[in-house]
Copies of this chain bind each other. A is one copy, B any other.
Amino acid sequence: MITLEHSNVDELKYGSDGLIPAIIQDSRTLQVLTLAWMNAKSLQRTLASGETWFWSRSRRALWHKGETSGHTQKVVEIRYDCDADALLVLVEPRGPACHTGETSCFYRKLPFHREPS
């Protein structure tokens, strides 16, 4: 059970769709795992459970990360940015973050080369 000062939660600015982007980062390796979306309820559930809960924009439903795969994410720290409209959630992942089985959802590069300037 995690308790949060309401003043901080009340500072957060959600978009017109009621969502705020949440960057999920491995607290040990610092690898960025996922960009997910939260609404106020998924943040409440995240704080109450100590595990990440998101809003699935495709399924239009609250989603407890790992509820089917078992690959839950233990919340270590939650930070918010200067505009209070984005979250950075440091987690200890229990398994891959990506539904593809990759550790991170950002497993593909935009290949480019820097030409000699």
Contact = CB atoms under 8 A, between A and B. Distances in A.
Interface of A: 1-5, 8-9, 21, 23, 25, 30-32, 34-35, 47, 50, 77-83, 86, 88, 98-100, 102, 105-115, 117
Each complex incorporates copies of this chain amounting to 2
Nearest to A30: B30
A5 B8 CA distance: 43
A110 B80 contact: yes
12 contacts: A2-B113, A2-B114, A4-B111, A4-B112, A8-B111, A23-B23, A35-B86, A50-B114, A78-B110, A78-B112, A79-B110, A82-B100
For A9, A35, A99, A111, which residue has the most chain B Cβ atoms within 10 angstroms? A35
Given A9-B110, A106-B80, A110-B9, A23 B32 contact: yes
B80 A117 contact: no
Contacts of A9: 110
A107 B88 CA distance: 10
Contacts of A32: 23, 25, 32, 88
